[in-house]
Structure 1
Amino acid sequence: MKTIKGPAIFLAQFMDDVAPFNSLDGLCQWASDLGYKGVQIPTGESRLMNLDLAAESQTYCDELKGRINSYGLEITELSTHLQGQLVAVHPAYDLMFDNFAPDDCKKNPAKRTEWAIDQVKKAAIASRRLGLNAHATFSGALLWHAAHPWPQRPKGLVEMGFKELAKRWTPILDVYKENGVACCYEIHPGEDLHDGVTFERFLEATGNHSAVNILYDPSHFILQQLDYIEYIDHYHEFIKAFHVKDSEFNPTGKKGAFGGYLDWADRAGRYRSPGDGQIDFKTIFSKLTQYGCDVWAVMEWECCIKSPEQGAKEGAPFIQRHIIEATQKVFDDFAGGGFSDGEMREMLGI
Structure 2
Amino acid sequence: MKLAFSTNAYLKFSFAEATSRLAGLGYEGIEIMADVPHAWPAYILPEQIQSLKDNLTKNRLQISNINSFMMHAISDPRQLYWYPSWIEMDSNYRQVRITHTKRALTLAKALGAKCITTEPGGPVEKGQSWQSALKLFIEMIKPVAEHAEKEGVLLLVEPEPELLIETADQFEEFMKHIDSPAIGLNFDIGHSYCVSDDPATTVERLAKYLKHVHLEDIAATRKHHHLVPGEGVIDFKPVIQSLKKIGYDGWVTIELYPYVENPDTAAKTAREKILPMM
Residue 24 of structure 2 is matched in structure 1 by 33
The CA deviation at 1:145 is 5.8
The CA deviation at 1:52 is 3.7
Which residue identity is paired with 1:96?
R
How do residues 157-172 of structure 1 correspond to structure 2 at under 5 angstroms? 157-172=129-144
Q: Secondary structure at the match of 1:237?
A: coil
Q: Secondary structure at the match of 2:170?
A: helix
Q: Choose the corresponding residue for 2:274, options 313, 319, 326.
A: 319
Q: Choose the corresponding residue for 2:159, options 175, 187, 190.
A: 187
Residue 125 of structure 1 is matched in structure 2 by 106
How do residues 294-333 of structure 1 correspond to structure 2 at under 5 angstroms? 294-301=249-256, 308-323=263-278
Distance 1:144 1:198, change over 3 A: farther
Contact 2:32 2:66 in 1 (8 A): yes
Which whole-Å CA distance do the structure 1 matches of 2:258 and 2:166 have between them? Answer: 20
Contact 1:136 1:185 in 2 (8 A): yes
Q: Which runs of 5+ in 2 are unaligned?
A: none
Matched, 1:241 2:212: yes
CA RMSD of aligned residues (A): 3.0
Deviation per CA, 1:25-75, whole angstroms, max 9, x where unpaired?
111111111111211111111x32252466x85x75444223222012122
Which residue identity is paired with 1:15?
L
Contact 1:35 1:317 in 2 (8 A): no
Q: Secondary structure at the match of 1:66?
A: helix
- Structure with higher Rg: it is 1
Q: Which runs of 5+ in 1 are unaligned?
A: 87-93, 103-107, 147-152, 251-256, 258-266, 324-350
Contact 2:193 2:218 in 1 (8 A): yes
Which whole-Å CA distance do the structure 2 matches of 1:144 and 1:227 have between them? Answer: 28
The CA deviation at 1:142 is 5.2
Which residue identity is paired with 1:74?
Q
Q: Secondary structure at the match of 1:169?
A: helix
Distance 1:302 1:125, change over 3 A: closer
- TM-score normalised over the length of structure 2: 0.85
Q: Secondary structure at the match of 2:197?
A: coil
Q: Secondary structure at the match of 1:279?
A: coil
The CA deviation at 1:97 is 4.1
Residue 78 of structure 2 is matched in structure 1 by 96
Which whole-Å CA distance do the structure 1 matches of 2:63 and 2:240 have between them? Answer: 21
Which whole-Å CA distance do the structure 2 matches of 1:204 and 1:81 have between them? Answer: 22
Q: Choose the corresponding residue for 2:34, options 43, 50, 57.
A: 43
- Percent of matched pairs sharing the same residue: 20
The CA deviation at 1:219 is 0.9
Distance 1:226 1:100, change over 3 A: closer
Residue 70 of structure 2 is matched in structure 1 by 82
The CA deviation at 1:195 is 1.0
Which residue identity is paired with 1:282?
K
Contact 2:145 2:183 in 1 (8 A): yes
Which whole-Å CA distance do the structure 1 matches of 2:11 and 2:249 have between them? Answer: 28
Residue 264 of structure 1 is matched in structure 2 by none
Which residue identity is paired with 2:167?
D
How do residues 156-305 of structure 1 correspond to structure 2 at under 5 angstroms? 157-206=129-178, 208-250=179-221, 270-301=225-256
Which residue identity is paired with 2:78?
M
Which residue identity is paired with 1:34?
L
Which whole-Å CA distance do the structure 2 matches of 1:273 and 1:60 have between them? Answer: 31
Contact 2:6 2:32 in 1 (8 A): yes
